[in-house]
A and B are shown apart, each in its own frame.
Chain A
Amino acid sequence: MSAVIETEALTKVYEGAVKGQDVHALTNLSIKVDEKEIFGYLGPNGSGKTTTIKLLLGLIFPTAGRMKILGSPDIGARAVRTNIGYLPEGAYYPEFLKGEEVLSFYGHLYGMTGRDLKTRIDRVLDVVGMSRARKRTVRGYSKGMRQRIGLAQALLSDPQILILDEPTTGLDPIARKEIRDILASLRDQGKTLLISSHELLEVELISDRVGILSEGELQACGKLTDLLSDRDTEIEVSGATPDALTRLAEAGIRVGDQVDTKASLRVPGEVPLYTAIERCKAEKLALVSVSPQRETLEEFFVRIIGEDEEKRRTSQ
């Protein structure tokens, strides 16, 4: 697998009007986004997600460090740009144009014309579900429609890479699901997606790998399965008596909810699962289900960001 987007010690300092008011938005960021994956780029407000994305698109310039896209250090090259679809944060498109005119305008910038452009516009409008609103001006679009037309313009050139800054912010649950499905299907078509977000549940649902940013520094990066520890295991049993449950509790197994003779038990990481099951057998309990309880991305995120803040506090 080759890296499609690569940054090396990327640093961005926004200079303040006065000395000492500089904002260190990004510090020594080194990430790799591989081909054909969805990379979830996470971080709290103001952690530097948008800054990274703007750097990748050449809208702002790095203070230090290097970037490579599709192996090329000239991130403004035509071949590179044609292969990046970008959805900016918040949806701003020419207000006075109709939906299809917006797409035609951007299409011309890609050098597309005539029939090719027209069929492509029809296609992307269909993908994002905006075919019916194509003749209306952007001024009259709702937030969701703007976001969709934004996604449509990002898809216009059928790019290999999609860089989406908070693609589902401000959308209703159904629209979110739809967008998520579109993004997953794009990945299945072999596209690479970099998605910034703070909607953790959503990112967990679709990302292959995530990077977590806090105050401009990368705190964690990797596959979700590697990052999130498999901690507890939940065992559901039936035929439980209070005595049996007390004995299990003494063996270090936590007892949760009980309904009649059914009980759910939580086996912490330090008790081997096999031992726990043996004990249940000895107590003549019937097993109903055994399920691993993975840490959620949210728990992980809160823990990582919390640890980082703690470190900053103590180092001050």
Chain B
Amino acid sequence: MTAPVNFLSSVWTIAIYTWREGIRKKVLIGFLILSILVLFGAQFMTAFLTVPRSAGELETSIDVQLKMVKDICVTVISIFGALIAIFISASVVPSEIENKVVYTVLSKPIRRFQYLIGKFLGVQFIIIVNLALMAGLFFVALWVKEGVLPTLLLWSALLTYFEFLIVSSFTFAVSCACTSAVVPTILGLFIYITGNLTEYLKDVERRSGQTALWLDEWTGKLARWLYLTLPNLKHFSLKTQILFLEPNDPPRDVQMMALVIYALVYALAGYIIAYWVFRRREM
């Protein structure tokens, strides 16, 4: 009975500590404030864009404005959320090794995989709270503007979290092999960006091989390989639906469950790699 309790309580202690330390990072706070400013700014900015001349024009212009606000907000939440997720996932383990607190922590009755789970959970708390703050703000703003509960947004936020989970677990795994946050941050950004562009990779593959040059052929192979291994993060975006459906419509044409499982599998793989790297790491 006490063994699993001890196991969980150590993991929990590390997670809470990671959370408390993480939310103090200046970069993270900076990103969050910036994104909230943009979210607010978007609400006002569009009001100055066009001056309507007739009632019909007024209606369409309001519609256009609203779409624009939505577009900006969804994009900002995705980009800033991803930046925060990548930054925090990349830094918790290297910074603790660098400031040497890891010596006293790992010499306590705690195994390395517990420590890593705790760290990973702490990172997820930060990502979730941060996403909830941004999406919550947007939710309230839309609700006030449109007068209906924008439930579609909740679905979107949920999927966005699972997108971040994929990026975060990959970044975290890389960070477990690194002595600073620089390399994992760069690779995390790479995954986030290319993961959102995998459709292009398919395009690249299709167009390659038209000349007989080896470079051309290899580019195609590389594109194909990246297409197959990289997660397709575009699937996790409900942006077009938020723009064109009613705010309280259910999401259409997305297999929620499949995407969640897809993300969880990536996250599990990320954790296993992280542990495999960290298990024999010398402090």
Residues on A lying within 8 angstroms of B by beta carbon are: 54, 57-61, 76, 78, 81-82, 84, 86, 88, 90, 92-96, 105-106, 108-111, 113, 150, 153
User: Measured between C-beta atoms, what is the minimum distance from A111 to chain B in Å?
Assistant: 5
**A109 contacts B110, C-beta separation under 8 Å:** yes
**A86 contacts B9, C-beta separation under 8 Å:** no
Q: Mark B91-122, 1 if CB is under 8 A from A, else 0.
A: 00000000111011111111100000000000
**A109 contacts B24, C-beta separation under 8 Å:** no
Q: B17 — which chain A residues lie within 8 A by C-beta?
A: 94, 105
| Closest chain B residue to A109, Cβ basis | B108
B1-51 residues at the A interface, CB under 8 angstroms? 6, 9-10, 13-14, 17, 20-21, 24
Does B129 lie at the interface of the complex (its beta carbon under 8 Å from any beta carbon of A)? no
Q: Can you list 12 A-B contacts (CB < 8 A)? A: A59-B107, A81-B109, A81-B110, A88-B104, A92-B100, A92-B101, A92-B103, A94-B21, A96-B20, A109-B13, A150-B104, A153-B104
In the assembly, what is the distance between CA of A45 and CA of B115, in Å? 32
**A105 contacts B103, C-beta separation under 8 Å:** no
In the assembly, what is the distance between CA of A80 and CA of B103, in Å? 16
Q: Given A94-B17, A96-B24, A111-B9, A59–B110 Cβ distance below 8 Å? A: no
**B104 contacts A93, C-beta separation under 8 Å:** yes
In the assembly, what is the distance between CA of A135 and CA of B7, in Å? 29
Q: Given A88-B100, A92-B99, A58–B13 Cβ distance below 8 Å? A: no
**B109 contacts A54, C-beta separation under 8 Å:** no
Give the secondary structure class of A's interface. loop
Question: How many A-B contacts at CB < 8 Å in the complex?
Answer: 71
**A78 contacts B109, C-beta separation under 8 Å:** yes
Q: B106 — which chain A residues lie within 8 A by C-beta?
A: 57-59
Q: Given A88-B103, A90-B100, A109-B10, A81–B108 Cβ distance below 8 Å? A: yes
| Closest chain B residue to A15, Cβ basis | B282
Among candidates B9, B100, B101, B103, residue contacting A108 with C-beta atoms closer than 8 Å: B9
**A110 contacts B24, C-beta separation under 8 Å:** no
